[in-house]
Amino acid sequence: ITAQDPDNDFAPSTGCITGWRPPMGRNIRMESHCYAGLTVSPYYDPLLAKLIVNGRTREEAVRKLQCALEEFDVEGIKTNIPFLRRIVNSEGFQANKFDTRWVGRFMAGEER
């Protein structure tokens, strides 16, 4: 999870995190230093958190990731969470049919 605006060429998003509600639950792991009240500076890496999920199958893990991203709420700055939601809900990601150029095609509207 990064402090970037994917809809604005992944521009950095700085300022105060006014709300921080990460997902929780079984098979969800979060690694983060963030909290409500933290000021995100333009001088460091935009990484806010690592979100890790697991499941018995890929399909189960994808469903868990979809739910975790829906639950994840960050207020005060822009993040790449909406972009990640679009990716994990896309047909190509769901069907496990992507490659190293897939994201570029997805962003250009060539992939669904």
According to the model, what pLDDT value does residue 111 have? 80
Tell me the C-alpha distance between 97 and 93, whole Å.
6
* 88 alpha-carbon distance from chain centroid: 9
pLDDT (tens, 9 = 90+) of the chain, 112 residues, equals: 999 999 999 999 999 999 999 999 999 999 999 999 999 999 989 999 999 999 999 999 999 999 999 999 999 999 999 999 999 999 999 999 888 899 889 988 888 7
Q: Are 23 and 51 in contact (CB under 8 A)?
A: yes
> End-to-end CA distance of the chain, in Å?
22
The Cα 64–Cα 4 span in angstroms is: 23
pLDDT at 30: 95
Tokens 């605006």 appear where? 5
Give the number of C-alpha atoms closer than 13 A to the C-alpha of residue 70, restricted to the C-beta side: 8
